[in-house]
Structure 1
């Protein structure tokens, strides 16, 4: 009997993905995914559509969200993503947090548009909004900049305009990690540190982040993701075991591409405790 394929971190048009929740589920089914968590950025707007699609496809859907947080590390404030899994989407605490995050996102998006206008790129907010089904994110601005020919691809848009230190970057005062964890727990879910090796920090500072996350009673860490080396996966697995964290998996899929795919290469090392043993009890 084939083992189940889990993907507990992916995105739809409810945030900065390019596939609708139903299209995402269809693709997950085509890739053999059995258990899926839709984790849009600070939004659960896609869950209802995804749930209906999963029921038709025979996929088990786990409620998910990716919460943007701030953490002070390596000399500056850093944006860290915390995934919530298996929570009650009607929780008043979660609803209030996501409403606050949405307001921050809207304010940030408007400010980015104003900065781009000062750089000689008018009506950028309207252009980015036209590409968004939900909240306007930096990814939508990147696609708009590609669309109007200012850059050749999304990566270039971030490097020239949208990343920290670039002329159209706007820092957001996201919630802190401890608060995000607490809200996820109040909603009955598990809190997971997302893609720990993608924060452009030294291993020493990433390890400090993991320690803080564990001390704030976080539950799990994404051990398996697309594009990792075996050594990277084993390193994160060691951190998980050192801090009694459950091991999660996630492609962080946003759009079809060669190196990131739903359910692709998400096998956990044998020496960790899979998070779904708690989620699916």
Structure 2
């Protein structure tokens, strides 16, 4: 594909710096990309500068954690005004939420016999970006508690494990409103990855529509073709725009790469039609 609306860098839990990520996208032949790091905009300026130097179209974004009926979901906000004061205040709140969560994760790991330096090590690995579970995973490897990042998630940090601490994220309705206040479009990310039945997913879609969510991500790596067809049917039924992206994090993940996801048609039903000026849109996709 020649675009990707779901990419991560070292500004959150990706493996490549924003600059290196954009260069990889260029090598893959992409014409347009959005950087969507978790709950942060700290990589946007470097990524946009690299994209401009390479002649690529760039869309600023973020992937926001939020709650719907006590379940954690992810919303992509794309086309954001990164200088929006409302957005900056909100991101400061999210940083505090992530720090509280990190302290809880560390406390639980220490009670399981992990060295008390695990939080300090994880923070050092994270540097100035938001502290996430992958940083704890690398800290556990450094401490010799596990052999690999994968083992860290399998034993300590994955779903249902001791370090799987749920944060009290803001409600999804509030996040949609915030994205719109910052001039962006709200997209539900990878809907089949939340282990919902389609009955529950349709309930979510109904409420998202009432809250004016703009689009649903309907193409991404790992999407079962049968699920994909059912997903697309209901997304069109509720009248959402379509979106797609690789959710790329690392070159070490052989199952994904920038621009690698099942092809969908780029037309006036695609969220890009609402993000890119009509003249540029036709030039990019004709």
TM-score, normalised with respect to structure 2? 0.90
Whether contact under 8 Å (1:184, 1:191) holds in the other structure is: yes
Within a 5 Å distance, the mapping from 1:57-96 to structure 2 comes to 57-72=54-69, 77-96=70-89
1:138 to 125, 133, 136: 133
Question: How far 1:216 moved relative to its partner?
Answer: 1.2
Q: 1:175 is paired with a residue of what secondary structure?
A: coil
Distance in 2 separating the partners of 1:225 and 1:263: 9
Question: How far 1:269 moved relative to its partner?
Answer: 5.0
Within a 5 Å distance, the mapping from 1:192-211 to structure 2 comes to 192-211=187-206
Question: How far 1:154 moved relative to its partner?
Answer: 3.5
Whether contact under 8 Å (2:266, 2:272) holds in the other structure is: no
2:121 to 108, 111, 127: 127
Residue 267 of structure 1: aligned partner: 263
Structure 2 CA distance for partners of 1:154 and 1:207, relative to 1, 3 Å: farther
1:177 to 165, 169, 172: 172
Question: How far 1:131 moved relative to its partner?
Answer: 2.1
1:254 to 238, 249, 254: 249
Residue 103 of structure 1: aligned partner: 96
Distance in 2 separating the partners of 1:124 and 1:266: 39
Question: How far 1:201 moved relative to its partner?
Answer: 2.1
Question: How far 1:149 moved relative to its partner?
Answer: 3.8
Whether contact under 8 Å (2:245, 2:261) holds in the other structure is: no
Question: How far 1:112 moved relative to its partner?
Answer: 1.1
Distance in 2 separating the partners of 1:232 and 1:271: 22
Structure 2 CA distance for partners of 1:236 and 1:105, relative to 1, 3 Å: same
**Structure 1: 5+ residue stretches without partners:** none
CA shift digits 1:231-268 (9 cap, x unpaired): 23222221221111110111111111210111013411
Question: How far 1:164 moved relative to its partner?
Answer: 4.6
Distance in 2 separating the partners of 1:164 and 1:78: 13
2:235 to 231, 237, 240: 240
Between stretches 48-57 and 257-266, larger displacement belongs to 257-266
Structure 2 CA distance for partners of 1:152 and 1:181, relative to 1, 3 Å: same
Whether contact under 8 Å (2:244, 2:261) holds in the other structure is: no
Structure 2 CA distance for partners of 1:160 and 1:204, relative to 1, 3 Å: farther
Whether contact under 8 Å (1:7, 1:266) holds in the other structure is: no
Residue 3 of structure 2: aligned partner: 6
Distance in 2 separating the partners of 1:115 and 1:66: 26
1:277 to 242, 250, 273: 273
Distance in 2 separating the partners of 1:102 and 1:159: 26
Distance in 2 separating the partners of 1:249 and 1:181: 18
TM-score, normalised with respect to structure 1? 0.92
**Structure 2: 5+ residue stretches without partners:** 278-286
Whether contact under 8 Å (2:192, 2:223) holds in the other structure is: no
Distance in 2 separating the partners of 1:205 and 1:272: 28
Q: 1:101 is paired with a residue of what secondary structure?
A: helix
Whether contact under 8 Å (1:226, 1:261) holds in the other structure is: no
Question: How far 1:148 moved relative to its partner?
Answer: 3.5
RMSD: 1.8
Structure 2 CA distance for partners of 1:237 and 1:108, relative to 1, 3 Å: same
